[in-house]
Chains A and B, each alone.
Chain A
Amino acid sequence: MSSRRSRQSGSSRISDDQIIELVSKLQQLLPEIRNRRSDKVSASKVLQETCNYIRGLHKEVDDLSERLSQLLATIDADSAEAAIIRSLIM
């Protein structure tokens, strides 16, 4: 990979290999594609899975924020841990 990079002109430091490397790194992150163990995943599939994954993560953050909001609202006044958490957060 490094030899290919040196053959390219000095002005451009990004090679096709780097792009392929990035896409494969993205593939590694996506749970669905990683489990299938196939090298021949199309770019559009990787993009689609990436978008779905990010949307899923956004939703989780939203749900967790809501859950935390409700929990902190109804926190039990008496327990010691609650007092710690309350002093930490509120």
Chain B
Amino acid sequence: MGAPTSLKQKFLKKWIMGLQICGSSKKEMGILERKKAIKLAADVAMASTRTATTCWSRALIANASKCDENKMLVEHIMGSSQSERLSVKSACMGCNKRIRSKKILGRSKSISRVKKIAPQKILANSIAKRLVKKRTQVLKSLVPGGESMDEFSLIEETLDYILSLRTQVSVMRRLANATEHSNRK
């Protein structure tokens, strides 16, 4: 596939850049500290391949920047101009879609009031609705920035987030395998 390959390359480049910054600033790191640095660099690199176009990437970077010691790393991976652009845009996005999806929900609710449904089906429907609602809440907690998304945006963001996560895992796995392979020789 054409697009994912370049995505992998973009991610790899930014990730390695982040790792180099971590490595240069601290010579001696414990395993846990290094692991956190590797993971942080990977997450920020993953998010920065999507800058400003998705809510989850902005939320991830905003969360990472909350801690002062991470801020420098974030800015380096993204380039300082990009990170400024992010903080301005993050306020605006969710509102329009939220209004639109509420209209759809409102429309579908008024339609169902007209039909007569058997009582068993009503019970099944309400259980299903409760399940969907509960699981939507869980999904919101898993996707960065999910809490402030309406359902439609949540699904869109989830799709993109999953694709990015898969890329991240695939590249990280390759690097780990390559490192292990070279270690054995």
**A contacts, CB < 8 Å to B:** 11-14, 16, 18-19, 22-23, 25-26, 29, 42-44, 47-48, 50-51, 53-55, 57-58, 60-62, 64-76, 79, 81-82, 85, 88-90
**Nearest Cβ distance between residue A26 and chain B, in whole angstroms?**
6
Contact with A along B121-148 (1 / 0, CB 8 A): 0000000100110011011001100000
**Contact status of A14 and B104, CB under 8 A, knowing A54-B142, A55-B142:** yes
**Nearest Cβ distance between residue B150 and chain A, in whole angstroms?**
10
The contact of B176 among A11, A19, A64, A79, by CB within 8 Å, is A64
For A54, what are the chain B residues with a Cβ–Cβ distance below 8 Å?
139, 142-143, 158, 161-162, 165
* CB-based contact B35/A85 at 8 Å: no
Interface residue tally for chain B (C-beta within 8 Å) = 51
* CB-based contact A44/B128 at 8 Å: yes
The contact of A71 among B42, B43, B100, B183, by CB within 8 Å, is B183
20 contacts between A and B (CB under 8 A): A12-B104, A26-B158, A26-B162, A29-B159, A29-B162, A44-B128, A47-B132, A47-B136, A50-B139, A54-B162, A54-B165, A55-B142, A65-B42, A67-B180, A68-B172, A81-B178, A85-B182, A89-B16, A89-B23, A90-B23
**Nearest Cβ distance between residue A11 and chain B, in whole angstroms?**
8
**Nearest Cβ distance between residue B128 and chain A, in whole angstroms?**
6
| Bound: A23/B131 CA distance, A | 16
* CB-based contact A61/B169 at 8 Å: yes
For B100, what are the chain A residues with a Cβ–Cβ distance below 8 Å?
11-14
For A29, what are the chain B residues with a Cβ–Cβ distance below 8 Å?
159, 162-163
**Contact status of A89 and B19, CB under 8 A, knowing A64-B173, A67-B176:** yes
* CB-based contact A81/B185 at 8 Å: yes
